[in-house]
């Protein structure tokens, strides 16, 4: 079967080519989607390649930051925590150079292991997602966006630089592996704290119970278990995640407390 390949050269042309998203497969950096096509698990009839659409940028204005959907993950790796350290933890140099921020946000959730590490820090940062699709352009929170991420074309993400941020992930020394579990913390200008985790549900989840107990990092760590939907997969067991999630929550809260 032949594929109709669309390569728009502007944001407007990309939005027009995407239309209502029906029968269109978006290709960002392709680190996931090309593999799916090669293995025959995905057989698109129309592929929308965004490489020339003008969606690769990191714009800063005061404390406000806007990141284009096609920005390589490596280009946000030197930003503040939790986003910068999380991006620096994705894959290796080659993957970070090819993988895009929008592709990471929209990464499908395979049964083998979690995917889309940047969802965690973006959720903690309460980022806004600007997207287009059925009904035209709209802006919504990452939390809302994650409920229907396969039905929109992401244009960019906006968020404020926090007063403090922290990122902690499960790590196995000397092993190269996708992230099994990670926690992101953000302290906003009004002193409020937002916590989010990846590897604790099908997409990134907000740790609201832990946020409510944030003054006591140990109690917050235990409270986080009520927010999580921990599963066994190829990277870790639910048993192991249950023991590690409270520790990661404690670690990020202790880190931002020091600021």
Ligand X SMILES: Cc1cc2nc3c(=O)[nH]c(=O)nc-3n(C[C@H](O)[C@H](O)[C@H](O)COP(=O)(O)OP(=O)(O)OC[C@H]3O[C@@H](n4cnc5c(N)ncnc54)[C@H](O)[C@@H]3O)c2cc1C
- Beta-ladder partners of 64: 61, 160
* 157-177 exposure pattern, b = at least 16 Cβ within 10 A, e = fewer: bebbbbebbbbbbbeeeeeee
Q: Kindly state the number of chain residues that form the binding site for ligand X, as judged by CB under 6 A.
A: 30
- Name 115's Cβ contacts closer than 8 Å, sequence gap at least 6: 32, 107, 108, 109, 178
Q: In angstroms, give the least distance from the CB of 166 to ligand X.
A: 18
Q: In angstroms, give the least distance from the CB of 112 to ligand X.
A: 12
Binding flags for ligand X, 19-58, as an x/- string (CB under 6 A) = ------xxxxxxxxx----------------x--------
CA-CA distance, 128 to 142, in Å (whole number)? 6
CA-CA distance, 244 to 238, in Å (whole number)? 10
Q: Which CB sits closer to ligand X, 19 or 254?
A: 19
Return the residue of 8, 82, 85, 102 that touches ligand X, per CB under 6 A: 102
Binding flags for ligand X, 183-202, as an x/- string (CB under 6 A) = --------------------
Return the residue of 65, 81, 123, 154 that touches ligand X, per CB under 6 A: 154
Q: Which CB sits closer to ligand X, 112 or 215?
A: 112
Q: Which CB sits closer to ligand X, 24 or 195?
A: 24
CA-CA distance, 139 to 102, in Å (whole number)? 14
107 binds ligand X (CB under 6 A): yes
Q: In angstroms, give the least distance from the CB of 50 to ligand X.
A: 6
Q: In angstroms, give the least distance from the CB of 101 to ligand X.
A: 7
Contact 104, 177 (CB under 8 A): no
Q: In angstroms, give the least distance from the CB of 79 to ligand X.
A: 15
100 binds ligand X (CB under 6 A): yes
Q: Considering only residues 210-229, where is the footprint of ligand X by CB under 6 A?
A: none
* Cβ atoms within 10 Å, residue 86: 29
CA angle 102, 100, 62 (to 5 degrees): 75
Tell the burial category of 90 from Cβ atoms under 10 Å away from its Cβ (0-12, 13-18, 19+): buried
Inter-CA distances, 40 with 36, 37, 143, Å: 6, 5, 31
Which residues in this chain contact ligand X in the complex, by CB under 6 A?
A: 25-33, 50, 69, 73, 90-91, 95, 99-100, 102-104, 106-108, 115-117, 153-154, 178-179
């Amino acid at each position: 079967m032949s594929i109709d390949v669309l390569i728009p050269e502007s944001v407007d042309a990309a939005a027009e080519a995407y239309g209502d998203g029906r029968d269109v497969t978006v290709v960002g950096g392709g680190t996931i989607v090309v593999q799916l096509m090669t293995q025959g698990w995905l057989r698109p009839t129309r592929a929308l390649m965004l490489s020339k659409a003008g969606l690769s940028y990191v714009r800063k204005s005061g404390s406000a930051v806007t990141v284009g959907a096609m920005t390589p993950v490596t280009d946000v790796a030197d930003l503040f925590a939790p986003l910068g350290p999380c991006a620096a933890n994705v894959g290796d140099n080659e993957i970070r150079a090819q993988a895009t921020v929008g592709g990471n946000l929209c990464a499908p959730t395979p049964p083998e292991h979690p995917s889309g590490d940047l969802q965690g820090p973006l959720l903690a940062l309460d980022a806004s997602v600007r997207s287009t699709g059925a009904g035209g352009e709209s802006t919504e929170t990452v939390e809302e966006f994650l409920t229907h991420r396969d039905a929109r074309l992401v244009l960019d993400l906006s968020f404020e630089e926090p007063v403090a941020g922290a990122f902690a992930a499960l790590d196995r020394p000397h092993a190269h592996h996708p992230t099994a579990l990670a926690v992101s913390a953000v302290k906003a200008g009004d002193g409020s704290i937002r916590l989010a985790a990846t590897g604790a549900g099908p997409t990134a989840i907000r740790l609201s119970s832990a946020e409510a107990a944030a003054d006591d990092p140990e109690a917050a760590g235990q409270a986080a278990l009520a927010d999580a939907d921990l599963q066994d997969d190829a990277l870790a067991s639910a048993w192991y995640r249950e023991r590690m999630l409270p520790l990661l929550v404690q670690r990020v809260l202790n880190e931002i407390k020091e600021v």
